[in-house]
Chains A and B, each alone.
Chain A
Amino acid sequence: MNRYKVGLAQIHSLLGNVEDNLNKHLEYIDKAKAHEVDVLAFPELSLTGYLLRDLAYEVSDKCLEALDEVKKASKGICVIVGLVEETRLGIYRNSLAIVQNGALKGFIPKVYLPNYGLFEESRYFTRGYARDLKLFNHKGLKFSAVICEDAWHPEPIEFLSRIGADLVFICSSSPLRGLYGKGDTFVEKLWESMNITRAVENTVFIAYVNRVGVEDEEYFWGGSMVISPTGEILVRAKKMEENLLIAEIDLHTLRRARRFSSFKDHAIDLHRYLSELP
């Protein structure tokens, strides 16, 4: 099987309201199943909302309960949801849960926790490590996922591509900034270029899913998209509104793209030197 349907649930999560968010997840899982989607991804912290601040300490139990419901709904489909994960008592990670065919397959935590401007994630979360980045397989499709800021650095997606991912999801909560000038805002332009770059430099499919809607001062702009390994934007969601975005990906495109790319080359010495730099 070479063709797969990828679904991106561009939803408006309500801050701290796991119950309502779960219902929204179940609704989108049903819709995705009706469209025969193979893997459906939700945005970063989709079950809880993003700007939790002190609520971050109080939602992880509800997330586990919600995950049980997602499991029940996941027969025949693979679902990626964003949530707060309590890894040890009182220690939390900003994670994705991968749920497949009724079973929880694992968590992927965020590695780079942003702490600039409005972001203050390492106040609440502990970071993930390379060993936590894993590969998943659904009906022969090898895929994985990273969270938002992890796509602003080249290594996490490069790592996943080198351990075998053909598709990497980027689950994001990107707020709007800089409504100056004409056309797209600078945040939107940056994300688009970054998604294309990550796809091309690793010759992988990139599926970027961003939230929409308001949270306190922030407004998330959506604009989810799927990019081919040659950097072509295959589908693009509406901005500012909820949307279930579906793309069909063909692994033959990937095979062909890799024949015209230097992905097979990996200058390990460069990485060794990089690891010694601050």
Chain B
Amino acid sequence: MSLPPVNCERVVDYITRRLNWYILDFARKKAGIIGVSGGVDSAVTAFLTVRALGPERVYCYILPSDATPNEDIEDALEVIERLRLPKEHWEIISIEKITKSFEEALGNLTKIERGNMMARIRMIILHQRAYRHNGLVVGTGDKSELLIGYYTKYGDGGVDILPIGGLYKTHVRQIASYLGVPERIVKKPSSPRLWPGQTAEGELGVGYDIIDPILYYRFEEWLPEKEIARKIGISENIVRSILDRVKRTQHKRLPPEVFHIGYRDLGSDWRYPRQWV
């Protein structure tokens, strides 16, 4: 048993409407800013944002480091070519020099410290460009990554909206095929590419073909761990290890905690809608 497919036509129509409304009407901004990596999430996000706003309101940035394989840069370029962006609407900006100068100032960094820093450098660049073009940073995180906390807090997590945050990785691939994203990108194994040879499956222990149904059965169908393991045909330990990740990373998904002092503080007292006129 695996998770049910999404209704591609409805999902694309729905996300497109919401992106258009959120960026132009609600936030009253002029553009969507996207970091394009050559992976499937950013490809789908870029395709959807162009559908929502038109290519003249989208800016894409390829932000490679020495850990970025050439193949990713080629794939990112192919995505940008298909989007038909005006030529001043995309750039390749290497983050290698910036990363190195941080490392010179801070001393040697571990692999993970440096990886997180790279994700945050990309975030800084995207927000700078967003300010320049009066746009919002359109995040590329999907539901699988958001739920297991497989992203850098204030790095790739530091965005204004997450239009594909309701789609599991499996669904993102399904939507990618529907949108005509190049096959090579759809089939490529997922990786944050923060160091050479890094893959999601290598770090997480299992692939999204296993992670996605675990998350779906636990949080959408409310099944107990034992039943999930039985349904997918895996051990309960795997189910538990993935669900532990969800719990451990809860802090990444919530705004920082405020200690209550007054009659009404930010947090549980503060139940105003996001849309507040």
Query: B276's closest neighbor in chain A, by CB?
Result: A16
| Per-position 1/0 for A190-229, Cβ under 8 A of B | 0000000000000000000000011110010000000000
Q: Looking at the complex, which one of B10, B18, B22, B273 makes contact with A185 (CB distance below 8 Å)? A: B10
Are B277 and A14 neighbours in the complex by a CB distance under 8 Å? yes
Min CB gap B85→A, angstroms: 26
Q: How many residues on chain B are close to A (CB under 8 Å)?
A: 21
- With both chains docked as a complex, state the minimum distance between the C-beta of B48 and any C-beta of chain A, in angstroms: 14
Report whether A215 and B14 are in contact in the complex, using a CB–CB cutoff of 8 Å. no
Query: Which of the candidate stretches B1-9, B51-59, B252-260 sits at the interface with the other chain?
Result: B1-9
Given contact pairs A180-B4, A214-B21, A219-B18, A52 touches B273 in the complex (Cβ within 8 A): yes
CB contact under 8 A between A176 and B14, given known A53-B271, A54-B271, A181-B7: yes
Closest to A215 in B: B275
Q: Is the C-beta of A17 less than 8 angstroms from some C-beta in chain B?
A: yes
- Cβ of A247 within 8 Å of any chain B Cβ, yes or no, is no
Q: Is A55 an interface residue (CB 8 A)?
A: yes
A52 contacts which chain B residues (CB < 8 A)?
273
A51 interfacial by beta-carbon distance below 8 Å: yes
Q: 1/0 contact trace for A155-187 toward B, CB 8 Å?
A: 000000000000000000000100111110100
Query: In the assembly, what is the distance between CA of A130 and CA of B26, in Å?
Result: 40
Q: Is the CB of B6 within 8 A of A179?
A: yes
Return B89 CB to nearest CB of chain A, in Å: 26
Contact residues in A for B265 (Cβ distance below 8 Å): none
Q: Is B272 an interface residue (CB 8 A)?
A: yes
**In contact, A16 and B18 (Cβ under 8 angstroms):** no
Residues of A within 8 A of B7 (CB): 179-183, 185
Tell me, in angstroms, the Cα distance from A176 to B17 when the chains sit together.
13
Q: Is B11 at the interface (CB under 8 A from chain A)?
A: yes
Is B13 interfacial (CB 8 A cutoff)?
Answer: yes
Q: Which of B14, B272, B273 has the most CB of A within 10 A?
A: B273
Contact of A179 among B10, B271, B275 (CB under 8 A): B10
Determine chain A's interface SS by DSSP, over half rule. loop
With contacts A179-B7, A180-B4, A182-B7 taken as known, whether A16 is within 8 angstroms of B275 at the C-beta atoms is: yes
Complex alpha-carbon distance, A216 and B17, angstroms: 14
Q: How far is the CA of A240 from the CA of B271 in the complex (A)?
A: 27
Q: Is A83 an interface residue (CB 8 A)?
A: no
Task: Count chain A CB atoms within 10 A of each CB in B26, B275, B276 and give the residue with the most.
Answer: B275
Q: A51–B272 Cα gap in the complex (Å)?
A: 9
CB distance from A98 to the nearest CB of B (A): 27
CA distance A53 to B4 in the complex (A): 33
B274 within 8 A of A: yes
B6 touching A55 by the CB < 8 A rule?
Answer: no
Per-residue interface assignment for chain A, residues 35 to 60, with 1 indicating a CB less than 8 Å from any chain B CB and 0 otherwise: 00000000000000101111100000
A108 in contact (CB, < 8 A): no
Could you tell me if A17 and B277 are in contact, using CB atoms closer than 8 angstroms? yes
A219 to B20: give the CA distance in the assembly, Å: 13
How many angstroms between the C-alpha atoms of A241 and B270 in the bound complex? 31
B54–chain A nearest beta-carbon distance, Å: 19
Top 10 nearest A-B pairs (CB, nearest first) are A53-B271, A180-B4, A15-B275, A54-B271, A17-B277, A216-B274, A16-B277, A179-B7, A179-B11, A54-B272
| Given A179-B7, A214-B17, A215-B273, 17 further pairs, Cβ under 8 A | A16-B276, A17-B277, A52-B273, A53-B272, A54-B271, A54-B272, A176-B14, A179-B6, A179-B11, A180-B4, A180-B7, A181-B4, A181-B7, A182-B7, A219-B14, A219-B18, A240-B17
Interface residues of A (CB under 8 A from B): 14-17, 49, 51-55, 176, 179-183, 185, 213-216, 219, 240
23 contacts between A and B (CB under 8 A): A15-B275, A15-B276, A16-B276, A16-B277, A17-B277, A49-B275, A51-B273, A53-B271, A53-B273, A54-B271, A176-B14, A179-B7, A179-B10, A180-B4, A180-B5, A180-B7, A181-B5, A213-B21, A214-B17, A214-B21, A215-B273, A219-B14, A240-B13
